[in-house]
Structure 1
Amino acid sequence: MYRASDRVEHAEWLSDIERAADSLGLGTTARSHAVDLFLSTIPDEDRSKRATMAASVYVGALLASEERSQSAVAEATGVSRLTIQQRWKGLLESAGLEAPEW
C-alpha cells in the first residue's frame, strides 16, 4: 500500500509510466495497474526505480489483458528486455498475485 504523498514525491516516475503507456497504446486500466504496482513497490535505490517502473508497465498490461512483449516495453521504458524478464514475476508476486505457468 502507498500514501497519497507518494504520487507527488514520485511524479517524475509516474510521468515516465504515462509516456511508456502512450508509446505502447495502453488503456486506462493497464496504466492504473502500472501506477499502483510501482507506488506499492518503490525500491529505496534510485538505480532500481527505472527497472521497477518498466516491470510495472509490463505487469500492468498483463493484468489488463493488453499484453505487450517484454521487448516492446523495454524499448518504451529505456531498459533492457532482460531487466523486465528478471523483475516482472517478483513484482507480480509482491502484489499478492501468482505468476502464470506458461
Structure 2
Amino acid sequence: MHSARDRLEYEPWLAELEQIADRLKLSQEARSCASELFLMDVPDEDRSKQAVLAASIYAGALIAGEGCTQGAVADAADVSRLAIQTRWKDRLEAAGLEPPRW
C-alpha cells in the first residue's frame, strides 16, 4: 500500500490510468493492481512516466487474469508496444511476482 501523499502527488497520473483502463474496459482488480505497480516505483523523469504507467496497466491486467494485449494497451495509452514490452516484467519482479515464461 502507498501513502495518501503518494496518491495525491501522482493524482494526474492515476487519473490517466483510470482513463486508459476505461478505454480497455478493465476491472477494478486490474486497475488496483496497476495503480500499486505504478506507485511502487514512479520514475523521476516525466517522459518515462507514461511508458511505466502503460507497463503497469498491462501487468495489472495480467495479474487480474484479463486478456489484454500489449498492443491494445499501447494504443489506449498512446505509447509504443516496445515501451510496454521492455518494462512490464520489471514491474512484476519489483512487486515480488514471477513473470510468466511464454
TM bracket (short chain): over 0.9
Equivalenced residue count is: 102
2:25 aligned partner: 25
Whether 2:10 is the aligned partner of 1:10: answer yes
Q: Shift of the alpha carbon at 1:3? A: 2.2
RMSD over equivalenced CA pairs, Å:
0.9
Unaligned runs of 5+ in 1: none
Q: Which runs of 4+ in 1 moved over 2 A?
A: none
Q: Shift of the alpha carbon at 1:2? A: 3.1
Letter paired with 1:83: A
Unaligned runs of 5+ in 2: none
Mapped partners of 2:48, 2:82: distance in 1: 14
TM-score by length of structure 1 reads: 0.96
Q: Shift of the alpha carbon at 1:75? A: 0.5
Mapped partners of 2:49, 2:87: distance in 1: 11
Identity %, equivalent residues: 57
